[in-house]
A = this chain, B = another copy of it.
Amino acid sequence: MSTIVMKFGGTSVADAERIARAARRVVKAKESGQQVVVVVSARGHRTDELIALAQEISPKPPTRELAVLLATGEQESIALMAMAIHKLGHEAISQTGGQIGLLSEAVYTKARIKSIDASRITRELNNGRIVIVAGFQGVTESGEITTLGRGASDTTAVALAAVLGAKVCEIYTDVDGVYTADPRLVPDARKIEQISYEEMLELASLGAGVMHNRSIMLAMKYRVPVHVRSSFTDTTGTLITKENPMMEDIVVTGASVAKNLARLILLDVPHKPGMAARIFGALAARNVVVDDIVQSAFAAGSANMTFTVSNEDLDTCQLVLEELRKKIGLGEIVVDPTIAKVSVVGVGMRSHSGVADKMFATLASENINIEMITTSDIKISTLIPQGEADRALRAVHAAFGLHKAGATKTSKARKSTRKTRKGK
């Protein structure tokens, strides 16, 4: 009998009615002859409410106790979901992170999963029960309660699917899949049927925000097929899966935008070993996330270094750099706090040229200045002024024909060319 993991996010279990709807879906899967494991998040805004409660007591509560507090959110959800399934006449049993032996690192927040003891779950499944697991939480080897970081119920679900050898991990959410671009910004954005883990990772980190990044990496590592779909409709969503030949026919899978970036240029960075390590080490120590690092070639003993940070982190970033400036002898620091990043992603790029050309030409025809360019083998990103972000995204989306199903597929002729090139 095949096993399926179904994960319901906070909005999908926000109230009694939604819990009942999710329960009906679970029972339907069970009645179709599958073994079903359900992972749930805390209801609606429960986690935020609990954090507010802690804040009322102490502005900086100890992380151990915060984890104990937040873990109650998912514990509520598992009990309520089990009750809803019972009411439909099926046997269900709830399980906390501790009860299924979900061991994590010995840190209390954002802890990573070390192992899961599948035996308890397997035993219950073999007894014909539906097993309801609390997302987001684990225990250390000494029995301390930990949390896996916000959004990490996805990670719990994928990890369970991996351990149980599940056929698929279904992520039920308030959108009906992954889109070629954010539909709020690009009205004719289209739902993607299949996307590779690599593409999804790029899109997630670029701000598509449908799934937690760590969960996609875990799915990729263990080759767990993930189906992102709506908890409010029955339509098929987006399958996140390993790269396959069909996917490579599509050059560009999606486009994304990240707004609210700041670009910093450090002038006259001395040409000495360890400069980059000192600069980015100091920023990392203050939890400033840095992206799009570009260093010009050293000339006359110094070079320029450029990178982006989110606008939120800009103040901290400037503080850190000012401290460093005297110590290591940096030159001027030029800041532009009004930067956005528009990117296109697609595994097909690996074997097709012309994507960068087309992107630059599109932005040029829209009269949008490109401030900077960074690329990976499946992504091209351009930094542009924030004010032009939405227009740029729509233009790029249209240029690559993302609104049309299969529009960016290569023609037969190009396909054969590609094959020849690959053969080299």
Contacts and interface: CB of A to CB of B under 8 A. Distances in A.
A62 B50 contact: no
A62 B50 CA distance: 26
Interface in A12-42: 16, 19-20
Given A16-B57, A20-B57, A58-B84, A79 B66 contact: yes
Interface stretch (A68-76, A276-284, A339-347, A383-391): A68-76
Interface in A111-149: 143, 145
Interface stretch (A93-101, A240-248, A330-338): A93-101
A22 to B, nearest CB: 11
Interface residues on A, range: 35 or more
Contact of A76 (B69, B80, B94): B69
Interface of A, helix, strand, loop or mixed by DSSP: helix
Given A64-B93, A80-B69, A93-B64, A58 B75 contact: no
A58 B72 CA distance: 20
A279 B20 CA distance: 43
A143 B95 CA distance: 10
A82 interface: yes
By Cβ-Cβ distance, the 3 closest A-B pairs, closest first, are A69-B79, A72-B72, A16-B56
Given A62-B86, A99-B143, A54 B80 contact: yes
B83 A75 contact: no
A409 B262 CA distance: 83
A78 interface: yes
B76 A72 contact: yes
Nearest to A98: B98
A48 interface: no
Contacts of A62: 82-83, 86
A175 interface: no
Given A84-B57, A86-B58, A50 B68 contact: no
Contacts of A145: 96
A209 interface: no
Nearest to A134: B68
Question: In the assembly, how many copies of this chain are there?
Answer: 2
A75 B76 contact: no
A207 interface: no
Given A16-B57, A72-B72, A82 B98 contact: no
A45 interface: no
Given A65-B94, A68-B94, A143-B99, A54 B75 contact: no
Interface of A: 16, 19-20, 50, 53-54, 56-58, 61-62, 64-66, 68-69, 71-72, 75-76, 78-80, 82-84, 86-87, 93-94, 96, 98-99, 143, 145
A94 B19 CA distance: 31
Given A62-B82, A69-B79, 20 more contacts: A20-B57, A53-B76, A53-B80, A54-B80, A57-B80, A57-B83, A58-B84, A61-B83, A64-B82, A64-B93, A64-B94, A65-B83, A66-B79, A66-B83, A68-B78, A68-B82, A69-B75, A69-B76, A69-B83, A72-B76
A19 B83 contact: no
A86 B69 contact: no
A126 to B, nearest CB: 17
24 contacts: A16-B53, A16-B56, A20-B57, A53-B76, A57-B80, A57-B84, A57-B87, A58-B86, A58-B87, A62-B82, A62-B83, A62-B86, A64-B82, A64-B93, A64-B94, A65-B82, A65-B86, A65-B94, A68-B75, A68-B79, A71-B75, A72-B75, A98-B98, A98-B143
A124 to B, nearest CB: 12
Contacts of A78: 68
Nearest to A43: B53
Contacts of A82: 62, 64-65, 68
A129 to B, nearest CB: 11
A65 B82 CA distance: 7
Contacts of A94: 64-65, 68
A149 to B, nearest CB: 18
